[in-house]
Structures are given as structure tokens and as C-alpha cells.
Structure 1
Amino acid sequence: MSHKKWSKLLASTIVLSSVFSPLAAVATTPTAGAQVATGLEDALQQARELGLLVGDPNGEIRPNDHLTRMELAKIFCSLFQLNIEQVQSPSFADVSSNDWGLNYIEAVRKAGLMTGDGRTFRPNDLITREEMAVVLVRGLGLDAQGAGSQLKIADKSEISTWAQDAVQTVLDLGLMQASGNTFSPQQALIRQEVATVAVGVVDRPTGHVHVADGTVTIAGISYQVSESLQGLLSSTNSDVLQHARFELERDGYKIIGIKRLELQQQEGVLDAKNNVLSGSLVLKGSVTLKNLTAKGTVQVTGTAAQQGHVILENTTLASVAAKDAQVTARGTTKIADTVVNGKASITVEGNASIDKLQLAEGAGEVQLKGKLLNVVLQGNAHAKITLLDGASIQNLTLPAGVATRDLFNQYDAIKASIPMVNGSTNVDLRVYVTSNPPQVQVDRAALNLKIITATAFKNAAEVGTTPGTVPQAAYDALVQAIADATAVQNNATATQTQVDAAVTTLEQAIATFQASINQGVNTQALLAKIADATAVLGSAVVGNTTGTYPQSAIDVLTQAIATAQGFADQVDATQEQVDSAAIALTVAVTQFQQAQLAPLTVTLTEGARLDINSALGGTSGDVVLTDTQQVPFYQYNKRNIKNLIQIKRGAEVENIKYVPGTTTFEVDNAQNEKIAELSLASSTDLIQLAAATSGVNLHPQPDLTEATSGNLVFTVTEAGQVAGQQTLSFRPDETAPVLTGATYANDLFTFTASEGLATFMIPPVIQVEASTKGDFLDTISLVSGSDYSLVGGAVNSQFQIRLTGTGKSKLTIQQGSKFRFTINGYYDFANNAMNTSYLVDVDQL
């Protein structure tokens, strides 16, 4: 491997060992030449090579600079490879058409990754850790609902309610980490932290998977696939790979190896088409694994209540670790080592083999079926083994002090199936052919095993002429061969030569019997799949509420069942066609089950706030919550309810429509069908709710002051049941904002108010006067538009005024010079006006 590739692999290891915990050792003052935190320099280089992070015009990465929301938008456009369109008019009031990041902001808005509060984007605000968690979950398309209830970190109370589900999800996935037991949700991020997590996402993607010829796209990130992995990462495996968790070995955006693959689907078939997997594989649920060589460990996991089940067909595996699971080896499958914990069932069929089966100390009830070469009981294991019909263990290895009899259920009935213990003949099978004292020993273990095997074939056989049955003559011949072998087995005077000859004869009889099995197309598996699919379809309910299925999904599964039945009934169908039909129906059932409508989720919209002002008097302080879209300007008396509450089913945001004459809203799906109802209520008598023409009217009582409190309660009801509820605190505000400071730099005056300012449709009126001496006896009045201009709207608590070249040419500035600003028409979110004059000292322009 080239030095370059080794560097990338090393960097990936560094990234994964330090993914995104708060960097306490990083300098807090951003500087272009700041020291990069230990172990992160390669991650920065990778981010640059991947096009995720670019330097400034001087080529500097500035690793310790804080990152703004606009800069993060650009990084996520690159990370998730979003389509960038040229935009003329921004969707946000605080984003200018001249902003360098306009197209990136619009792209992440359109993709639903960063939506601001619906009115403003805050492009120059610093991105916080909790905001990053939310954007990551959205970008990967993960379902994080309810995850926040598992948060155990010490500073959980500092995490905003709308971010808690996302924070727990990224912690579970290792995309971000806590420092000690704290997450520091409000801490602003620096560029090297974001570079680290971005590279980590490329290394360990999870989400929706789309496979095309030679490429795979995971959560929107597209990779080339090396030829050696194109069988594993192929379109036929697309369904079972959905939302799998990958850990990749890559060269840029080309996958050259898989270090770890964890499937999340509970059912499906993974056909590797003879590819080699160098890393580990984790399987859950009921999965069939075919045509794979795996050098790492294949983990099969379940629970005591619901075992995992994996069928291994024509696979070559170095190691299998099974816990509370069923493992069936078929075809030419060869497993070097299998370790069992918990409750397990191990089946070996046909020509498959397991070289060594180890029962670990955590093993419990274990069922074995088929031929096992070596079974090893580890240390203090307390397993209890049941040998099913036809099962055998060629050699059993036990630790000192453990009796074979104590390890098996019904030992006396099956002891003949265990010919060797600790490398020697099982003492319980030794038969002495001479009397006191014994001189000659005859080993009948191999004959006993052959009789058991032959009997298993006989008991499983069905006489007939259809595929899978055997002719009567072949059946009778096997019965006679078993009787002859049993006679030798029971003959106390039989010699070892006679016993060995009986083994050979019975072995030939078994081979002849197997060769006589009628061949043909076996439709049993397909018919079973059809029966299962029909049962699933029969229990499904058509509807548009939680737990029901869309009619379109019913129609698709109905057609899939009909197609499968057609192949089952087709006289000239091949085995390949029948098997493919069974797989296709399995996929159709899985997709149908995924189409079941998920529960509705009710969350507060990011940045939701409800300012209200009773001091305005009469109905001037009233607020109407409506469903109509607004222009990107704030209106105190009219708010869009979608800026306060969001209702989703899965990833789909449902529409909210006002019901005239009520205090409720209708919740509609994408097909404009009513699926639920949203009702509003006030937790305090100080806010009265009433129906209005276009929405629900909130009327503050005169007694509502900044010293009082209350909540607006949102309740979503579906099919008569409460589907979700959220509360949003009222923010009584009767205090007008005031200016607390102002600065001047690079022709810009930046003013800071005591609280956030809203951007209204009617701009504020600002007069600017300048005095060279500072006493305003030499006042120069500047002209709005030609000499100065307001820069955009207010952003949080700040607004800016730009001095033009024409305005500067009118002024002579010296020590003690001042500007006087007379400002009228700025309002806070509660409609309190800020009318003020403010002096700013300026020593030089």
C-alpha cells in the first residue's frame, strides 16, 4: 500500500479514537497559526483532501477559529454532496443576496438540514455542539425520536429540549462524545472539531443506502467501490443494507475495504457473490448470509426472549460468535471456530462443517444438530447440551473434573453419538468381549454413529415419485441395511473386523439411498413464504393513522403474492426462478412492514418563541396564530404556527391547517388527508384563547406582566388518542429595548441592544450626524442612502450601519470626533419600540 494510503488509514484511526469531544486543550482565541490539537492534524488534512474544509485565500486552514452557521452550511453541502443551485432571492430575512454563502444556505434549507427559525438563519452566529448534533442526525436521515429519554449526562438540563433526541443519538453512534460526563451543548465549535467529525462520518456512515454499478451512496455520501467488494455492495443487497452501520477502509471516496459492517435489518438475504470481507460483520434478527469469505468475526446476536437467526450458505468464515442465537450452516459452508454464549442452537447440514465449537463460560441451553467435529467446553462453563436427532460430536474436549454425563440431556440415549472424549474413546462406549479379566476391546462407536445417521435418513424420508421423495425399493434397502448393522452392533462376540466391515457396508447403503432421492424443483420454501405473506397481508389495516398501511402498500404486496404464486404453480419453472421468487417475496414483505405508518412525533420548532405584551392595551397586544405563510418579516400580531410546533411522521413533515371558528388546527398528510387534530390551550387565565377569522387569537389580560408566567399547550390527537403534547412558555415583555454598546470598524457601525430585535416590513428611521470636535457645534448631517445605509435587518440583538465613500469624503475625523445616531422604529419581538439617540466615538475612518 502506498504511503499516502497508509497515512489516510492512520488518520482515520486517530479520528475514530477522538471523535468530537469538547477540546479543552485548544486555544480559545482564534488565530491563523494556532497550535492544532494533538492527533487532529491528519484529520484536518483529510478534510481538506476530501473537499470538506478549504483554507482562506492565503491557504490557511485556521484550525482553532470558531465556525459560523454559514460556514457549516458549506461544509455540509460538501459532506452530503447536496445539489447547489444559483439563488437570486434569499429565503431568510437576515441573509443578503450578496452573502458568499447564500447558495449553500439555500441548499441545506431545501434538504431540511438547517432551517433556522423559518424567518431568520443567523448566518454569522457560531455553531454550538447541540446544533451540530441536530444537523448531523438530519443529514444522516436517522430516526432519533425518543432517544433523549436515555440521556444520562450531567449537563442534560443545559441541552435544549429540541436537541436532546439528537444528542443521545450521536453519542450512541460515536459521532460525538461527552467529555467525562458532560456534553457542553452550548459550547461553540472550532474548525478542527468539525473537520474531525466530518471525516468520521465519511469513515463510518450510516443511513439510507443506494447501490448502482460500481458505486454506493450512504446517507447522501457517494463512494466508488473497489472491484473486490462490488458483489457485497451490489443492488441485490440494497434492502438488507439499509441503515447498516459501516466502518470503511478507503482511499478518498473509494472503498477499498470494510473494517466493520453492522446490519440493522431484522430480515433479509446478504449475498456477497464470493467477495472477501476482511473486517467483522454483525447480524441481528433473521438473516441469510451467502457466498462470503470473512476473515474477521461474524457476530450473531439476539436476546433471551428473541433469538437471532442466521443461515450461512456456501460461506467460509474464520470465526463466528453467537449469543442467544440460532446458527444454521448449509451447502459448502466452512467455519474454523464458533464461540457460543447464552442460549443457542447450532445446526450443520449437508457438506457444511464447523471445525471447532467452543461453549464459553456464558453458554446456557445449547441445541446441536448435524455433525460436529470438535466441541470444547471452556473453563467454568455451565452449558447444558441437547443433541437432536442425528446429531453427533466426533470429539468432545472437557476441562478437568467435568463428567460427560453431566453436560448432556438424556445422556444414555445419545452417548453413542460422542465416540471420542478428550482425544480418546468415550469410556462409556467401551465393550469387553472376554470375561474376567477383559483382554480384547471392540470399538463400536463408529458403527453406532452410522446406525444413528442411517436411521435419521430413514425417518426423514417420504416414499413416492415426486421431487424430494425416494422409491419404495430404496427405502426398503436402507431399512434392511440398518437391521444388518444393528445385528452386528448387538452381537457381543463380533470382532473388530466384523464391526468395521459393517460400518463400510452401511456407509455404502446410505450413499446409495441418497443417490436415489427423486430430483426436481422444490417449492416448499416458496409456498411457506406465500403463506407467511398472506398472513401478514390479512392482518393489515388500510388507513392513514398510526399502525395502518397505505392502500398503495396493500396493492404492491397483493401483486407480489400473486407473482410468487404464479411461479409456484408454473409447471416448467426452474429452481432458480422459484428461489428468486421466494427472495423477492421476502423483500416485498419487509418493504410492506416498513410502509406501516409510524407514530406521529410532536416537537417544538427550532428557535420557537412566543413573545406577548399586555401593555400595548386593548386588542393591540393580541396575537393570532395562523397557518398562512408569511413574508420574511416579523409581525407581532400575526404568527405562523409552523414556527412554533412541528408534527412529523417519520421524516415527513405534516401540514397544519386552521379550522375556522375553533381553537384547533387540522393535521394533513402529503395527500391532503386529515390524519390528526392539533388543539391549543393556555395554562393560565392571564392569556385567553378565542377563534379568529384566520387563526387562534391569544389575548393577554392586563394583569399579565413580566413577573407572571404561563404556557401554551399543544396537544395532537389521532384517532381519539393523544399522539403527542408540547408546551411553550409565554414570554411577557413590556420593557423597551435600549442600546448597550456600539463599535466601529472597516466602515461599519455595529450596535448592540439589550435584547433581540425583530425585522419588520417597515424599516427603522435613522438620522446620522457627525462632529469633528465632538461638541456638535460643527455638526455635519449625513444623507441616508448616499452617505450611509442600513445593512440588512437586525440579527438577534445587533444591527449595522455602513458609512459610504461619499459620506467619508464629507468628514474630517480627529481625536475626540463623535457620531450621533438618532434611531426610531426598531422593535423587540413583543412590539416594544426602541427610540433613542446614541453617541459613538470615532478617532479615524
Structure 2
Amino acid sequence: MVLTPGAVWAADDTATSATPTMPAATEQQKTPVFPDLNTAASWAREQITQAKEMGWIGGYPDGKFYPLNNLTRREAAIIMSGALKLELPDKTVSSYPDVKVWGIKEIEAVKEAGLMLGKETGKFHPDDKITRQELAIILVKAAKISTEGKGDNLTIKDAGKVWPDAKPYVQAAMDSKLMVGYNNYFNPTDTATRQEMAVMAVNLAKVLEGNSTTSEQAGTVASVTADTLTLNGQSYKLTDAVKGIFNEKNAAALKDAQVKVEVDGAKNVTKVKGLELMAAGQAPAEGEPEFSGNVTLDGNQANVEGDVTVRANYISLHNLTVKGNLTVAKEVQNDFEAKNVTVEGNTLIEGGDTNTVVFENAKLKDVQAAKENVKVSFKGNSSVETVEVAKNAELAADQGISLPKVTVKDGVNALKVNAMIDELILPEKVKVEEVISNYEEAKNWIGKVNGEAHAYNTYTFVTEGVPASVEARELLSEAPADGKIAAEAFAGVQPVKVSLAVDKDNAHPYEGHVRIQPSNVEGVQLWAQDAEGKWWDINKTGWGPAEGFKLDLNLKTDVYVVAQEGTHIIPLKLEDVDKKYGTVNNVIAQKNFELKAEPKAEKPADNQDAK
């Protein structure tokens, strides 16, 4: 008899609970849930009935369950996705080449959950039979049972047949009653049957139901090891979700920390709900880098589901996502650093000093600077949505970082700015030069003030003759020492005229020194000639001397573009440079140019038949 899959393990739409709740045990129904239920072992019939009532399993098209049939990997994936209520991805094509139609979504779901993966061949082998030891691994992972210290004490008679890597899972499965043996044999290499899978699914539901009772614990950290957290005299086991924060490397940063954690029924710490850091570092030794004396909490990409508060000096936060708010509290009177930190709530700066509160490669939403004379710096690839300045302070940002919106509150009269600001919001009747303490230096870095275009920082790139596409060609060799390039090298290349201009309504001359700096884009050369007749590939060298030049609004430079085949994005920056040292102060304007280089069109062959 050939059986088609049908709804063999189809889950009912009526089962909706993320953590299964088992129905109360009842007497065997008069009408069996499957006509062949009596062929199942007596110890499996009740669980088969319960699994059917939970909507986890169904029968074959003929209505039978076939409890003694061997279990396939596909069937195991489907029952696990149903029992765990995994979210099914919206996919119609499997990531495995050997999975077709039936079970695609369920197999992708258990893959994403890390419960069942493909084999070394890159295939899933959905119709392969699944062994009892393989099932032990899947069930223990699904139940999130710790395997720490397990595997060496297996007392079953056939322990030697268990894979070494599977031994901790087999012991954990047996200890938790997810699986049982027979006469002290586990039979690890035997193929699991459909009735066994039904029993194990019910056992899994009971374990999950027991672990679903959570509580919130709060207190002072007494100690932390690789596997345990001691809080208020009680030791708790650590799950992988929190080990990024609670580990021995972070012990110094966590000394006397106030924490709030979520604990399950098995006394496992499953979430960090709040964190207050109380342990101070020290000032850097003379000649050592800033923050080198800081005590560091490295989150290893873990999450704090609530708020984080820093209450001591010289603390660094690294590689952490804060789902709530981040507060640098009043107790902080010295350096604070946050690196690779994401804050999904607000960031409140009530502490810090003039020697900086630094955010490097940070992703922030609303930032409030509420400490007198604090310096807040944004470095690297940091981004921030809004900044509110409530006290006299300093804002600084690396080249390439722009603060979209900075709001200045009443009473602020000395805000130092070393950053590009898209829009500055000031109190009514307050002039920008009355608030920005270094206005003459910073006036070109402010885009709008209270919604109106600022008289400065309106410079942008103006180009003429930019073609939709250019003919792809081989790049020229570097210019010789004298900078001379034969004119025929640019034969057929139409120059692009690049100039700089201010906003049409604000023709203010730029008072500083500037230079033009493209990014070094592979496969593209931008050739331009200087006043002495020398040619330079400004894609690599930039345009203008290191110390910059005074901006001439009427200047137009012919730039000859030579590009290899492909589509190129060329970022072009107008930089303000220090005339004395040649260092870049800030980016005044930036614009991306798209350049498409296409092969030379072939000349059509002559039509020999033409008369």
C-alpha cells in the first residue's frame, strides 16, 4: 500500500498557544481518534490522543495513523514546528534542493530555530529515517535544557553505541523524562516510530509548560561565573541568551551591579530586564589612550530588555543592545564610552565631563544632554535621530556624521558645535549667534535654523554635462612625474564641468579653505589638470593642495572620466581643511554620482544584399 503525505502531521488552526498547555487526562474516548489506534502500544495511546487533540498530528488520507511506521526527518520537522508553534516563513521554495512542496515551511522554521539542519551534503534528506539519539538532540534543544556536565554519567547498558556528541543530549532527555529507555537500554541507533514521536511531543509540552512559569528577580550581583549568577544569596543557571552579559570576563564591570532578570521555573536566567553599573574604572595612565583605564562591560551582542544606567566613573559599554533607555547618571563625573551599542529608547546624559561622553559606531534615537559643560562625541559610523541640549555643552561628530535635528532648550547660551547639523531648533526670539559659542567657526556646518535655510552651509556641487552613460575604456597608466599626459588619451571623452555654488538665495562667499575629495572608487579615474598644466587622477589624490584653496564661486573644472565597464557610485565631498596643518575639519557638502560605463557599440556590418 502506497501512502501519500496528505495531512500526516498537519496542525490544527485551533491551537494558538505559544507554550502548549496539555489537556487534562481523560478516560479513553469511546470513538478512537484514529481507527488503528488499537495497533499502537498501550503506553502510547493516551499521548497519541492528546497530540491529536492539540492539533499537532493528523492521519494519512485513509484516516489511519500508522503508529508503528518509522518516523522521517520531514515528519519530525513538521511535528516540532507545530508543537513549538514556530512562525512559518512565507517561502514556497526550500533552501534545500531535495525538499519539494510538502513540509517546506516547517523545515525552514526548524532550520531558523536551530533545531534541525541539513547534512554535510547541503541537503536535508527529508525522507531519511530519524534515530532515537538524533531525536534526543532535537528535543533537548527545543526544551532549552542545559547539557552542562551531562554525558559522562550515562548508566544505560548501550551507552557505547551513543555518538560522543549526542551523549549529553541523551542523558538530558532521559533525566527530564522527555525520553525513556527499556530495561536500561536506550537503543540510540534504532529508528524512532510515529507513536514514539507523539509521546515525545506530549512530554515536550509538559516540560515547556513547567518552564513557562517565569518570575522577575532583582538585587545586587554577588558573583558571576561562566554558568551561574548569584543574586540575593540564590544561584541561578545562565541560558545562552544572557551569557553574553553574565560571564567571568565581565565580572569586574558587574561588581555590585543592580540587576533585574527573568527566571523560569527551572531557575534559569532567560532575560536581562534591567542593569545598573556601580563599579568604577580608573583614569588612563599617563601617555595611555583615552578609556584604557575604563572597566568594560562587553555584551557580546546580547540584549538588555529594559533600561541600563551607568552610575560610576570610567565605564565602557561594548556590543550591547538596550531595548529601553540608557542613562549616564549624575554620579558619573569622568569619562564614559559606548561602542557598538544600540539604544532603542532614549539616551539621557546627566553625567560626564568636558573630556567627553563618547558614542562610537552607536545607533541612537533621542539623545538629551542635560549635564553642564559635558562634551558629547559621536564617532565612527554612529547615527542619532535627535539631540536635545538642556545645558551648556559641546557636541562633536566625526567627518561623515550629520546630526539630523538638534533642539536647544531655554537657558542655553554656550553650546559649542564641532559637528554637521541638518537642522537647529532654537527657542523663540533667540538668535543662533547668541547660542553657538563658536559661531564663526561653526556657521558653515548648520543647514537650517527653525525650519529656514541658514545663511551659511548652503554650498553644494553643481555639475554640467554629466552623461547618462559613458563608453567603457581601459584605465590610463599613472601620470609621469611631470604630470604630462598626451591629449589623445582623452580623445572622445567629453569632460564633466564641476563647480561649487551657494543656495540661489544666499550667495555668501565661503570664508574657509576647501578641497574636493572623491572616494577612491575601483575601476574609475577622474582626470583634471591643475594651473601648472599637470594632470592628476583626483579619484585618488583629491582636488586642491593639502592646505586647501579659497572657494571661487565662478570656478569650473573640466573633469575627464575614464571608467571600466559597470555601474559605479562615486561619492564626492567638499571638505573644509585647516590651512596650516592640512587636516580635514569637516565635510561641508557631499553628493553621490552614479556613472554607468557601457561597452563600445559595435558598428553594424554592411548589408551585402543592399542594392
For this structure pair, what is the TM-score category when the shorter chain's length is used for normalisation?
Answer: 0.3 to 0.5
* TM-score, normalised relative to structure 1: 0.29
* TM-score, normalised relative to structure 2: 0.39
Q: Report the structure, 1 or 2, having the larger helix content.
A: 1
